[in-house]
Amino acid sequence: MKDFIVQINKAFESRVRLGIMSILMVNDSVDFNTIKDMLQVTDGNLASHISALEKSNFIIINKQFVGKKPQTTYKATVEGRNAFIEHLNALEKLIKQNKNYIFLYLHFVFQSSFLININLNKYTYEKK
């Protein structure tokens, strides 16, 4: 097993958690409804994933009132940012190391209905 495999963080295996962290990495803080709308998930689903990320100390929750309305915002912690970057780096290493296998897999899956362009820095596919 390669060293980078252990750097793939189970906390980010869910598409919702991956989405939450992706949103928080490029924004200072984001409110609940914005995240919900961007990820197109239910309140309960989002709340459970946010709770898991908070327990891992990857995000912090800020509750305040704007006027008389409560507003909850979320922010990635330094620990969360570092863990997410490490996770993305491990995924990138996995892809780069297995690019030939990925090409063959994509070719098989799409059965030549897509042009697949893979080089060291860019992985794209286009419909023929």
**pTM over the 0.95 mark:** no
* Alpha-carbon gap, residue 128 to 117, rounded angstroms: 12
Give the model's pLDDT for residue 125. Answer: 45
Q: Which CATH number fits domain 3-97: 1.10.760.10, 2.60.120.10, 3.40.50.150, 1.10.10.10?
A: 1.10.10.10
In this structure, are residues 7 and 89 in contact, taking their beta carbons and an 8 Å threshold? yes
Which parts of 4-108 are beta strand (E)?
A: 30-31, 59-66, 69-76
List, for residues 62-71, the tens digit of each pLDDT value.
999 989 999 9
Domain map (residue ranges) of the chain: 3-97, 98-128
List, for residues 10-50, the tens digit of each pLDDT value.
898 889 999 999 999 999 999 999 999 999 999 999 999 99
Res. 93 pLDDT band, cuts 50 70 90:
confident
pLDDT exceeds 50 at position 81:
yes
DSSP, collapsed to helix, strand or coil, labels residue 93 as helix
* Alpha-carbon gap, residue 14 to 114, rounded angstroms: 27
Res. 103 pLDDT band, cuts 50 70 90:
low
